[in-house]
Amino acid sequence: MTTKTSNTEKANKQSTFGPLIVDVAVPLGTYYLLKDGFGASTFAALAWSSVGPALRTVWGLVKERRVNGLAGLILLVNVVSLALSFLSGDPRLMLAKDSGVSSVIGIAVLVSVVMGRPMMTEGFKPFLTRGDAAREAAWERLAVGSAAFRRLERVFSVVWGVALLAECVVRIVGAYTVPVDTMVWLGSVILAGTITLALFVSRKVAAEPMARMVSAEVAAADTAEVPEVAVAA
């Protein structure tokens, strides 16, 4: 039993952040890699980094008949940024505008927490439950009956929202105080550091405790079924 639980928790840790990487880190990373690493234009970098979110959004509509919130938001931000990229010629303004992607996502995540529907939940719930009916049922029971579980959901999203907003502020300050040539590569370092820190903190303070609660709820449900089987026999 201990080995099985240990393996389950290990799998949870490995899979929890998969959607976050696909929906957040990959599009942002692709944008900055193409723009700062390969010298692509802002328009080209935004266009190529929009491919992943676009595919995720279409896939959600076709398979699940609903919009993937994170992928759809990033796609919308990229489309707006594409339009705005034609209006800027100041290199420092361009650097400041780059941080707009993070700020919009961060604000949207925090607003979703205030509204009681933490946006980041969409990013890791499918991978925490892994399509297992028992784990999905356990999640739903906890989401309704456990205030502690709902609080952890909010904490997870708050960590990401605050991290992305802080990254935006740091990059804007840097855009107008640090030499442009330095900020071009430093911006990518700041972004990578922000994502790494947010992954670590959100895992420790929210994702791992939630994974343990789901596993415990599944185990409790299995134990409760044993007497019923015995009586039936």
Q: Which domain range does residue 217 map to?
A: 2-222
Residue 227 lies in a domain: no
Residue 148 falls inside a structural domain: yes
CA distance 57 to 54: 5
Q: Would you say residue 233 lies in a domain?
A: no
Domain count, the chain: 1
Nearest in space to 174 (alpha carbons), one of 74, 229, 120, 94: 94
> What pLDDT is attached to residue 54?
67
In-domain check, residue 34: yes
Q: Is residue 161 domain-resident?
A: yes
CB 175 within 8 A of CB 133: no
> Tokens for 54?
């676009």
Rounded to whole angstroms, how far apart are CA atoms 223 and 78? 49
Residue 31 pLDDT: 73
Is residue 15 within 8 Å of residue 128, measured between CB atoms? yes
Angstrom distance (rounded) from CA 76 to CA 150: 28
* Interior/surface letters 26-39, b for 16+ CB within 10 angstroms, e for the rest: bbbbbbbebbbeee
Whole-model pTM: value is 0.65
For each of the chain's 233 residues, which pLDDT tens digit applies? 444 444 544 444 444 455 556 666 676 677 777 776 777 776 677 667 767 666 666 666 666 565 555 556 666 666 666 565 566 556 676 667 667 767 878 888 899 899 988 888 877 787 778 778 888 899 999 989 899 999 999 999 999 999 989 998 998 898 889 887 677 678 768 877 888 899 899 989 998 899 899 989 988 887 876 555 444 44
187 vs 94: CA distance, rounded Å: 12
Q: In the prediction, which pLDDT does 159 show?
A: 95
Q: Answer yes or no: is 187 within a domain.
A: yes
Retrieve residue 6's tokens.
């240990």
DSSP 116: T
The answer as to whether 231 is a domain residue is no
Residue 40 belongs to a domain: yes
